[in-house]
Amino acid sequence: MRITCPFCGERELGEFTYLGDAKPQRPAADAGEDAVYDYVYLRDNIAGVMSEHWYHGGGCRAWLKVTRNTLTHEISAVEPAAGAGAAKVGA
């Protein structure tokens, strides 16, 4: 498997580290324990296309948002994860 880093180009899997679901957004400071609990622990277990966080530690050290099909491992999009997990405006 290879991932095309938007900064470095197509690179081998071994250069990357997987984190997990890129969907959860870190709750605002006043969001309360339940919201943070959900953020820390609750994940969908998706059989199909999902967006994930990957770290290009063996390259540019960018965190990437990778759209990957968990059934086929097909990667349909890779973009910088900048701000992907940031608290919503008004936080």
Partner 1 sequence: MRGDQANRLNDGGLIDRSTPLNFRFDGKILFGFKGDTLASALIANGVKLVGRSFKYHRPRGILTAGSEEPNALVELRSGARREPNTKATTAELYEGLEAASQNRWPSLKFDVMSVNQLFAPIFVAGFYYKTFMWPAKFWEAIYEPAIRRAAGLGRAAGVSDPDHYDKAWAHCDVVIAGSGPAGLAAALAAGRSGARVILCEEDFVLGGRLLADGGTIDGLPAAEWIARAVAELEAMPDVRIMTRTTLFGVYDGGTYGAIERVNDHLPVPPKHQVRQRLWRIVAKRCVVAAGAIERPIVFAGNDTPGVMMASAMRSYINRYAATPARRIALFTNNEDGWRTAETAIATGLQVAAVIDARPDVSPAHRALAGRGGFPVLHGSVSGVDGGKNGVRKISVSLTGGARGEVEADGLAVSGGWNPAVGLTSYHRGRPKWRDDIAAFVPDGAPPGMAAAGAANGAFGLGACLREGFEAGAAAARDAGHSGNIGSMSVADDEAFSLTPLWHVAGKGKAFVDQQHDVTASDVELAQREGFESVEHLKRYTTLGMATDQGKTSNIAGLAIMAAVSGKSIPETGTTIYRPPYVPVAIGAFAGHHRDENFHATRLTPSHHWAVEQGAVFVDTGLWKRAQWYPRAGEKDWLESVTREVKAVRSGVGFCDVSTLGKIDVHGPDAGAFLDRVYINAFSSLAVGKARYGLMLREDGIVYDDGTTSRLAEDHYFLTTTTAKAGLVMQHLEFCRQVLFPELDVQLTSVSDQWAQFSIAGPKTRDLLKEIVDPAEDLSSEGFPFMGAREVALRGGLKARLFRISFSGEMAFEISVPARYGEAMARNLMIAGKPFGVTPYGTEALGVMRIEKGHVAGPELNGTTTAADLGLGKMMSTKKDFIGRVMAAREALVAPNRQVVVGIKPTDKARRLRSGAHIIPKGETPGPENDQGYVTSVCFSPVLDQWIGLGLVERGRERIGEIVRAHDPLRGEDYDVELCNSVFYDPDGGRQRG
From the list partner 1, Zn ion, none, pick the one residue 59 interacts with, judged by a Cβ distance below 5 to 8 Å according to partner type: Zn ion
Neighbours of 42 (CB within 10 A): 9
Which residues contact Zn ion by CB under 5 A? 5, 7-8, 56, 59-60
How many residues contact partner 1, by CB under 8 A?
A: 33
In this structure, which amino acid lies at residue 83?
G
61: left (phi over 0), alpha (psi -120 to 50) or beta: left
Question: What is the C-alpha to C-alpha distance for residues 54 and 62, in angstroms, rounded to an integer?
Answer: 8
Three-state DSSP class for 20? Answer: strand
> Of 22 and 27, which CB lies nearer to Zn ion in the complex structure?
22
Question: What is the C-alpha to C-alpha distance for residues 55 and 61, in angstroms, rounded to an integer?
Answer: 6
**What x-and-dash track marks residues 13-42 binding partner 1 by CB under 8 A?**
----x-x------xx-x-xxx--xx-xxx-
**Residues in touch with partner 1 (CB under 8 A):** 1-2, 12, 17, 19, 26-27, 29, 31-33, 36-37, 39-41, 53, 55, 57, 61-63, 73-75, 80-87
